[in-house]
Amino acid sequence: MTREGHMEISAPDVMPEAVFEASSHLETFDDMIVECPECGESHRADHLVEDNTDIEEAESLPTDEIADLLAEHDVACPTCGGPLAGEPVDDFNLMFETNIGPGTSSPGYLRPETAQGIFVDFPQWAEYARNQLPFGVAQIGKAYRNEISPRKSIIRVREFTQAELEHFFDPDEDEPPLHRVEDVTLPLYPVAEQEADDGEIHWLTVGEALKEGVIGSDWLAFYLGLSKGWYDRIGVDMDRFRYRQHLPGELSHYATDTWDAEAELGGDWVEITGFADRGSYDLDKHAEHTDEDYTVFKQYDDPVTVERPTVDPDMSYLGPEFGGAAADVADELDALVAHNPDAFDGETVTVEVDGEAYDIPVGKTGFDVEEVTESGEHVRPHIIEPAFGVGRLVYTVMAHAYEEDEVDGEPRRLLSLPPEMAPTTVGVFPLMDRDGLDDRARDLASDLREAGLDVAYDESGAIGRRYRRQDEVGTPFCVTVDYDTLEDGTVTVRERDTTDQKRVPTDDLAGVLRALRDGDRSFEVL
């Protein structure tokens, strides 16, 4: 985020109902629910279909088809085993409702995503960015969803941490720096492959995917390419990773195209990030529901003269003719001339107010085409959104890092985490807790902490058992203070994955460990 020049904010966790009415979450933020008639337990219906059939993305199917599949496959309640055939499948809104303020309080909701806090205050972010597109606004924080059936540890929970970026750009002018990622190879699973009987992942570079039309948006392709190297760096196994395009029935109400970064976990493909092309949907909707200007003013290099259709309705005609609807008719005429001036070519023009059509003589609309000099234009940006599930990423990294092997004839469990991802960089041990070795080791551990390293000190049990404890929690390096340390000032440094050991002078130790952690040095060449 920082490297790309984006800004970070922190918006409220609770927002008024009007925000989610504008964003359409009140109408469309639903999952499919089925209730067991015998025990009364509620379940996520599409997940039951996925668990009991070969269908992978049941979320994309309509509720009536999900109900038919539950009956066709004799799906039973996971809680009591009762039959679910014939039970209705309904939409269930996932937002947590609350009240804001005392007494006659206003309804509000816990945010189901962090994005709306960014969109609501877009005019402020545009001002902060000095109306210079493109720019990005990011937020890392809690989101809340009233999940029907939480499951799989931290994979599906009701409270979780999101990291979302809303990247605002002019779709007619702003282009991403594709040269940075055009040669990055992506494992892509597009809609066409998902719908084919023998569909498979296509490995294409970003440049190839755009040229072949597999990815339709340059900016979406840019962020897919940019993210892949990061996933690899934090420890996601690239052999158990893919980008899957959303099926048409699966797309969120705000998205024109979405690709999920998915990781294979326990035989299932799990979304860890969603990359959505939101178009201008969110800014359009919030502009409709407020008096705020959800555009960016782009200054021209030189003023230009253009012809602009206008209306100046004759209210002395509209008032008596249409009564209380006159003002709304005038507003509709003003909106109509902006997007369809050809509608004024005839003798009359028709507008609709609250479902009723009104015919107005063009002569009474004050329609005219004027020459105006403009210094710039108002642009409503489009939005690309990478939305990361932080808990799912942590789970993925740990699951992909877990290994079992054998060392010196004994089984070993280890977390093969990249050194910069490990919660502890180095374990420090005295070979024995006597003869001054323990004091020297404690002093060394303190020095390494002061040098900015995360250190675990352990003097309990045999040295081999101490190594195993650190291997199991992912500590990449262990340092042992032994009797040679007292003689020549060197210590043994052990590498977790290979169990190889090297002697390193204590004076150089902090610098060596920092370089190993940051990837600036290789253990093999110490």
pLDDT band, residue 52 (cuts 50/70/90): very high
The answer to whether residues 258 and 245 touch, using CB atoms and an 8 Å cutoff, is yes
Residues 224, 225, 228, CA angle at the centre, nearest 5°?
85
pLDDT band, residue 60 (cuts 50/70/90): confident
The number of CA neighbours under 13 Å toward the Cβ of 85 is 6
| Residue 415 Cα to chain centre, angstroms | 26
Q: Is the pLDDT of residue 1 over 70?
A: no
Average pLDDT (337-352) is: 92
pLDDT band, residue 333 (cuts 50/70/90): very high
Looking at the DSSP bridge assignments, the partners of residue 456 are: 427
Distance CA 84, CA 240 (A): 34
Q: Is the pLDDT of residue 500 over 80?
A: yes
Mean pLDDT of all residues belonging to the chain: 93
Tokens linked to 219? 């900016």
Tokens linked to 214? 């597999």
* Predicted TM-score of the model (pTM): 0.84
User: What does the domain layout of the chain look like in residue ranges?
Assistant: 30-93, 297-377, 421-525
Distance CA 200, CA 281 (A): 32
Over the stretch 402-438, which tens digit does the pLDDT of each residue have? 999 998 888 999 999 999 999 999 999 999 989 999 9
Over the stretch 75-116, which tens digit does the pLDDT of each residue have? 999 999 999 999 999 999 999 999 998 866 789 999 999 999
Pick the CATH number of 30-93 from 3.30.40.230, 3.20.20.450, 3.40.50.300, 3.40.190.170: 3.30.40.230
- Number of Cβ within a 10 Å radius of residue 377: 13
The answer to whether residues 358 and 352 touch, using CB atoms and an 8 Å cutoff, is yes
Over the stretch 363-386, which tens digit does the pLDDT of each residue have? 999 999 988 888 888 899 999 999
Reply yes or no: is the peptide bond before residue 107 cis, omega within 30 of 0: no
Residues 297, 132, 334, CA angle at the centre, nearest 5°?
20
Q: How far is CA 378 from CA 131, 297, 303, in A?
A: 10, 4, 14
Closest CA to 133 of 64, 9, 236, 219: 219
The answer to whether residues 381 and 478 touch, using CB atoms and an 8 Å cutoff, is no
Closest CA to 484 of 446, 525, 431: 431
Closest CA to 219 of 269, 263, 257: 257
Over the stretch 108-133, which tens digit does the pLDDT of each residue have? 999 999 999 999 999 999 999 999 99
Over the stretch 185-215, which tens digit does the pLDDT of each residue have? 999 999 999 999 899 999 999 999 999 999 9
Distance CA 160, CA 89 (A): 26
Q: Is the pLDDT of residue 2 over 80?
A: no
Question: CB under 8 Å to 176, separation ≥6 — which residues?
Answer: 218, 219, 221, 222
Question: CB under 8 Å to 320, separation ≥6 — which residues?
Answer: none
- With 0-12 / 13-18 / 19 or more C-beta atoms within 10 angstroms meaning exposed / middle / buried, residue 421 is middle
Residue type, 76: A
Q: How far is CA 500 from CA 313, 479, 495, 523, 525, in A?
A: 85, 12, 6, 9, 12
CA dihedral sign, ordered 241, 247, 251, 256: positive
Conformation bin of residue 261: beta by default, left when phi > 0, alpha when psi is -120 to 50: beta
Q: How far is CA 336 from CA 297, 330, 376, 381, 524, in A?
A: 22, 10, 22, 22, 71
| Alpha helices per DSSP H over 290-346 | 315-322, 326-339
The answer to whether residues 383 and 166 touch, using CB atoms and an 8 Å cutoff, is yes
Give the three-state DSSP class for 113. coil
Distance CA 231, CA 237 (A): 8
- Output phi, psi for 39, to 5 deg: -110, -10
Looking at the DSSP bridge assignments, the partners of residue 268 are: 265
CA dihedral sign, ordered 438, 441, 447, 452: negative
SS (H, E, C) 33-62: EEECCCCCCEEEHHHHHHHHCCCCCHHHCC
Burial 7-38 (b: 16+ CB within 10 A, else e): eebebeeebbbbbbebbebbeebebbbbbbee
With both helix axes pointing from N to C terminus, report the angle between 326-339 and 315-322 in degrees, rounded to the nearest 10. Answer: 120
**Topology, domain 421-525:** Rossmann fold (3.40.50)
Residue type, 408: D
Residue with tokens 């093999």: 524
- pLDDT value of residue 104: 67
Over the stretch 295-320, which tens digit does the pLDDT of each residue have? 999 888 888 888 889 999 999 999 99
Distance CA 241, CA 229 (A): 12
| Residue 277 Cα to chain centre, angstroms | 12
